[in-house]
Amino acid sequence: METTEADERLKIFGGCMKTRNVQALAADHNALTADILERYIRPEMAVDDVLLDNCSEEIPVIDMSTLMDEVSREEEASKLKFACEDWGFFQLVNHGVPEKVIEELKEDLMGFYDLPLEKREEVAQLPGDLEGYGQAFIASEEQKLDWADMLYLFTQPPHFRNYKHWPSQPPSFRDSLENYSNATYKVAHSILGFMATNLGIKRETISEIHGSQTVRINYYPPCANGHDKMIGLSPHSDGCGLTLLLQVNPVSGLQIRRNGKWLPIVPLPGALIVNIGDALEILTNGRYKSIEHRAVINAKEERISIAALHSPSFEKTVGPLAEIVGEGTPLFKSVTMTEYTKLFFSQKKLYGKKMVQLLKLNP
C-alpha cells in the first residue's frame, strides 16, 4: 500500500524541529528582535569569509549539445573529465531542458512565494517529516540557523511523489514541477553516462544506481542589517550523487570551496550548475570528489534556487564500485542507500563533507 511505503521513508528520513518562517520574519521589522536575530548571526563568517578573487578562476562550462554530437563529443568529454577531476562543479549550457519548462517553473515558484504565509503553510512539514515546507537539520533551540526556508519534495521515481506536500497554488505548480523534474532527471542521467565512460566503466553503471530524485527549493530572503553576518545555507557537500542547481532569479549567492577559499559562482544565463555529491565520491572511490559549498544572502534582494538531487535508490549499495577499485584498495565502507540516508539525516546538521567523512575507511 502506498501509505506504508511513505511511512517507511518517514522512518528513514526522520523529521526536523519546527522553526520560524524566515520569509515572514524578514518581511516584518518588528518580528526580528535582537534575540531572534542572534540565532542567525554566525561568528564564523568573520573569520571564515576569505573570498577568492572573482576574476582569478572561472568554473568550467560544459556544452551538452556538443557532448551529444558524435562528431564533436570527444573534446567536450575530455573537458567534462577535467571538470569532474579538478573542480567537482561546472556550469552546463545547452542542456536541453526546454526554456518553457524552466520559465513555467520559475513563474510558479515566484507565485508560491507571493502567497500569504497561511497559504504557503498548507504544505508545511508535519511533525516527524522532512518533506514539505520548513527546514532541515535543526535539533535544538540553541543551534544557529540558516537564513532561508526550504521546500523539500520527492520527485522521482513518480510513485514516490507525495502530492499532499506539493503546493496546489498556483494551480499549475505541480505540472510545472513534474515537467522540470522529468527533464532534469534525463539530463542528470545523460551526464552520469558520460562520466562513467570517462571513468572507463560501462556507460549505464552509475546511472542505473541513481533511481531517485528529490528537489530542495531554497528561498533566501534579503536582510539589510545582517546579510554579511548570516548564512543562507551552511557549508556542506551534497549527500547525493549528482546535483543540478537552477537559479530561479538572477541574484548570486552560491560559493564553492576552492583551494581553501570561497569562490563566488555567477551562473551563466540559462545554465544549470552541476556538482558532484558524496555518494559519487564514494562510488568512484575518490576519483571524483564532492566539493563543499554554501549560500550567502543579499542585503536587498531575495534569492531563490532549486536543487535537483539525484541519489542511489534505497535498495542499492553505496560503496566503491568494483570496476573502479580493480586491484586497488577501497577507501570507503559500503552500505545500502537506506542505511546511508538514515546516517545522513540522523546527524542533525550539515557540515563539511559529512558522508565522505563518516564512511571513510581508516588507512
- Cβ proximity to ligand OGA: between 66 and 353 the closer is 353
Binds 106, which of ligand OGA, Ni ion, none (CB < 5 to 8 A, cut-off by type)? none
- Cβ proximity to ligand OGA: between 287 and 294 the closer is 294
Binds 184, which of ligand OGA, Ni ion, none (CB < 5 to 8 A, cut-off by type)? none
Long-range contacts: 83-88, Cβ < 8 Å, 24+? 83/59, 84/195, 84/198, 84/276, 84/288, 85/287, 85/288, 87/59, 87/60, 87/258, 87/291, 88/275, 88/276, 88/288, 88/289, 88/290, 88/291
In Å, what is the CA distance from 275 to each residue of 160, 245, 289? 24, 8, 9
- Cβ proximity to Ni ion: between 181 and 243 the closer is 243
Cβ at position 297, least distance to ligand OGA in Å: 10
Cβ at position 142, least distance to Ni ion in Å: 24
To the nearest 10°, report the CA torsion of 294, 220, 225, 293: 0
Task: State yes or no: cis peptide before 116, omega within 30 of 0.
Answer: no
Residue with cell 532561508: 148
- Cβ proximity to Ni ion: between 205 and 262 the closer is 262
What is the β-pairing status of strands 293-295 and 61-63?
unpaired
Binds 253, which of ligand OGA, Ni ion, none (CB < 5 to 8 A, cut-off by type)? ligand OGA
Short-list 275, 301, 297, 298, CA closest to 353: 275
Cβ at position 255, least distance to ligand OGA in Å: 8
76 binds Ni ion (CB under 5 A): no
- Show contacts with Ni ion in window 91-120 (CB under 5 A): none
- Show contacts with Ni ion in window 194-253 (CB under 5 A): 238
Binds 295, which of Ni ion, ligand OGA, none (CB < 5 to 8 A, cut-off by type)? ligand OGA
Residue with cell 535539533: 139
Q: Decide: 293 and 254 in contact? Cβ < 8 Å.
A: yes
- Cβ proximity to ligand OGA: between 216 and 310 the closer is 216
The contact set with ligand OGA (CB under 6 A) reads 216, 218, 233, 238, 245, 253-254, 293, 295, 305, 307
Binds 218, which of ligand OGA, Ni ion, none (CB < 5 to 8 A, cut-off by type)? ligand OGA
As a three-state string, the secondary structure of 206-241 is HHHHCCEEEEEEEEECCCCCCCCCCCCEEEECCCCC
Q: Which residues pair with 247 in a beta bridge?
A: 305
Binds 9, which of Ni ion, ligand OGA, none (CB < 5 to 8 A, cut-off by type)? none
# residues near Ni ion by CB under 5 A: 1
Alpha-carbon distance 26 to 341, whole Å?
32
- Cβ proximity to ligand OGA: between 76 and 108 the closer is 108
Alpha-carbon distance 222 to 203, whole Å?
43
- Cβ proximity to Ni ion: between 76 and 238 the closer is 238
Binds 254, which of Ni ion, ligand OGA, none (CB < 5 to 8 A, cut-off by type)? ligand OGA
Binding site for Ni ion (CB under 5 A): 238
